[in-house]
Amino acid sequence: MIVVLKKDVTEAQIQHIVEKAQELGLKTHISRGVERSIIGFIGPEDVLRVTPLEVFPGVESVMPVLSPYKFVSREFKKESSEIRIKDGLTIGGKKIALIAGPCSIEDYDSLLEVAQKVKAAGATMLRGGAFKPRTSPYDFQGLGEEGLKIMNEVGRKTGLATITEVMDTRQVEIIDRYVDVFQIGARNMQNFSLLKEVGKTKKPVVLKRGMSATLKEWLMSAEYIMSEGNPNVIFCERGVRTFETETRNTLDINAIPVIKEKSHLPIIVDPSHAVGRWAWVGSVSKAAVAAGADGLMIEVHACPENAKSDGAQSLLPEKFAGLVDELSAIAKAVGRVV
């Protein structure tokens, strides 16, 4: 931590800060400049993060030097992590994971149909919501446990791994029973109770980025999960909120190289929510793979006209299959496979 002092700081004020540091078990190092003097704190920054140095008399500004996260950082673990999903299936290795399926689980037959088609096209994991976070209380809220059972059955029948969103600490146990991977949605990225609860399981967690979460906050949310003992976290960039209204969100493609540099954890991309219209999904899916994403999570529906949610951004199974061919060529160009 570095403290920049005001131009007119007094010696007594400097002394007061130095004493506070000593009280916290830290050493200080004062550097006197022409325009400003600064104090460097030597020792663990954590004790300082909760000390409001900004309010000490004579302080102009405070600058942290170290990252506030540990377990998720590349400094903590140099080699990239490959998260095991189930036998023979990982995320973060050479093979790019393709996760596909409808926004909501609607019934057994339609889920099975989509599952079989996306599997044939190359997907290895099935997505689908049983508990749906809908902006309106009057919109379809999901099938709940009934949906989980359907997903479980379809997963077993097709051999696909399964992923569904958990919205409430009280749902963790039941979802844990039926499904292979937890998804934390964008709206819950800083639902810290929920993060801790999935952190107590051993199951992989796909952590979507919050609508206006900084990369640092996102890394900290992963740290919440890891600090509870669950190391199996996968980041999922799904677009951030900006001033642009033509697209549903703005896919932050920059996030891929930055997360890869800061963390050893894998990162996948959800192009469907990032653009909001099926016609644009292919273009940004290819971009994500080219930029280094470890996987894609794409909404696919056999009949978007009848989808109970997010129909506008769902691909038809045939379009998905065509896209996988294109992705395969891109993956090869960056030394990977789909």
Nearer to a second copy, 26 or 85 (CB): 26
Nearer to a second copy, 127 or 301 (CB): 301
Q: Record the tokens describing residue 273, joined without a space.
A: 């929510």
Residue count (the chain)? 338
Minimum CB separation from a second copy for residue 156, in Å? 28
Minimum CB separation from a second copy for residue 101, in Å? 17
Nearer to a second copy, 54 or 107 (CB): 54
Q: Do 259 and 235 touch, CB atoms closer than 8 A?
A: yes
Angstrom distance (rounded) from CA 317 to CA 120: 10
Buried b (16+ CB within 10 A) or exposed e, 303-315: ebeebbbbbebbb
Minimum CB separation from a second copy for residue 230, in Å? 12
Pairing of strands 37-42, 59-63: unpaired
Minimum CB separation from a second copy for residue 221, in Å? 8
Nearer to a second copy, 120 or 279 (CB): 279
Minimum CB separation from a second copy for residue 132, in Å? 9
Q: Record the tokens describing residue 180, joined without a space.
A: 């292979």
Minimum CB separation from a second copy for residue 2, in Å? 6
**Residue 56, SS3 per DSSP:** coil
Structure-token match 């050493």, residue found: 27
In 3D, which of 30, 51, 98 has the Cα closest to residue 326?
98
Nearer to a second copy, 15 or 212 (CB): 212
Nearer to a second copy, 43 or 322 (CB): 43
Question: Quick one: CA torsion of 241, 245, 246, 251, rounded to 10 degrees?
Answer: -10
Nearer to a second copy, 155 or 304 (CB): 304
In 3D, which of 249, 251, 337, 252 has the Cα closest to residue 289?
337
Minimum CB separation from a second copy for residue 94, in Å? 16
Structure-token match 């999570």, residue found: 297
Angstrom distance (rounded) from CA 10 to CA 304: 69
